[in-house]
C-alpha cells in the first residue's frame, strides 16, 4: 500500500511539470549483441541518446529529472536474480520524493524507475547511463535470445522520462533491442579449430599418390 501511494505521488509530481517534448530520444543497449558462456551472466548497460542525429550518445539538454525502463527477455532462457542486480547512477537513486528508486524483477523482466531527488537536487542528471543490469544466462550452447527495452510504466498517466525543466519526453522516445548469443569458451573454440585442422590433415595424407 505504501509503495502504491509513493508511486502515485511521484507520477502526480512529474505530470504536474510535464510539457511537450521537442527532440528525438532513444534508449538503447551498449551493444547490439552480447556473447555469453553457458551458465554465465552478462552485464548490459542501458543508455540514453538525447540527439539521434549527432554522433555518439548525447546527454539530455538541461539534464534528466526522471527515467523509467523495462528490460524484457525470454524467461526460459535468462533471468535477473533479484533487484541487487540492477544498478542505477548515483544521481538517479531516488523515486523523486526522497525514497529509494523503484526496482523490480519478474520472470522475463527487470524494471527500474529512478529520479533525482526533487527536494535536494539543484540540477538534472547530465549523464547518458540509465542502468546496468546483470542477466544470468539459462540458455544452452548455440542458442540465442532477444533483449528489448520499454518504459517502466505504459500507463498514459505516468511520466517515465522527464527533463529538468519539466518537459515530458515519453512521446519522443524510442527503444532499442539486442541479441544474446550463447557461445563456447575460447579454449573450446581453439580445440574445435585444432580438431578440424587435424581432420583435414588426416584426409590429405590419406589421398592416393
For 111, phi and psi rounded to 5 degrees?
-125, 145
pLDDT, one tens digit per residue, over 58-112 is 999 999 999 999 999 999 999 999 999 999 999 999 999 889 999 999 999 999 9
CA-to-CA separations, 178 to 8, 9, 72, 73, 145, in angstroms, rounded: 32, 33, 11, 10, 9
* Long-range contacts from 100-105, C-beta under 8 angstroms, 24+ separation: 102/3, 102/7, 102/68, 102/152, 105/80, 105/81
pLDDT, one tens digit per residue, over 126-162 is 999 999 999 999 999 999 999 999 999 999 899 999 9
pTM: 0.81
Give the 3-state secondary structure of residue 69: strand
Domain topology for 2-206: Immunoglobulin-like (2.60.40)
Amino acid at each position: 500500500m505504501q509503495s502504491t501511494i509513493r508511486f502515485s505521488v511521484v507520477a502526480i509530481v512529474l505530470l504536474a511539470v510535464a510539457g511537450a517534448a521537442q527532440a528525438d530520444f532513444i534508449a538503447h543497449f551498449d551493444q547490439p549483441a552480447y556473447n555469453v558462456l553457458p551458465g554465465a551472466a552478462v552485464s548490459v548497460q542501458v543508455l540514453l541518446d538525447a540527439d539521434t542525429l549527432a554522433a555518439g550518445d548525447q546527454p539530455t539538454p538541461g539534464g534528466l529529472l526522471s527515467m523509467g525502463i523495462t528490460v524484457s527477455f525470454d524467461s526460459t532462457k535468462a533471468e535477473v536474480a533479484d533487484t541487487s542486480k540492477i544498478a542505477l547512477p548515483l544521481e538517479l537513486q531516488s523515486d523523486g520524493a526522497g525514497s529509494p528508486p523503484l526496482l523490480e524483477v519478474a520472470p522475463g523482466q527487470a524494471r527500474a524507475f529512478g529520479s533525482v531527488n526533487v527536494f535536494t537536487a539543484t540540477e538534472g542528471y547530465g549523464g547518458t547511463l540509465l542502468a546496468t543490469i546483470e542477466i544470468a544466462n539459462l540458455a544452452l550452447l548455440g542458442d540465442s535470445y532477444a533483449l528489448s527495452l520499454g518504459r517502466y510504466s505504459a500507463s498514459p498517466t505516468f511520466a517515465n522520462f522527464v527533463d529538468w525543466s519539466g518537459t515530458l519526453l515519453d512521446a519522443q522516445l524510442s527503444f532499442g533491442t539486442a541479441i544474446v548469443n550463447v557461445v563456447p569458451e575460447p579454449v573450446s573454440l581453439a580445440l574445435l579449430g585444432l580438431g578440424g585442422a587435424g581432420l583435414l590433415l588426416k584426409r590429405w595424407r590419406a589421398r592416393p599418390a
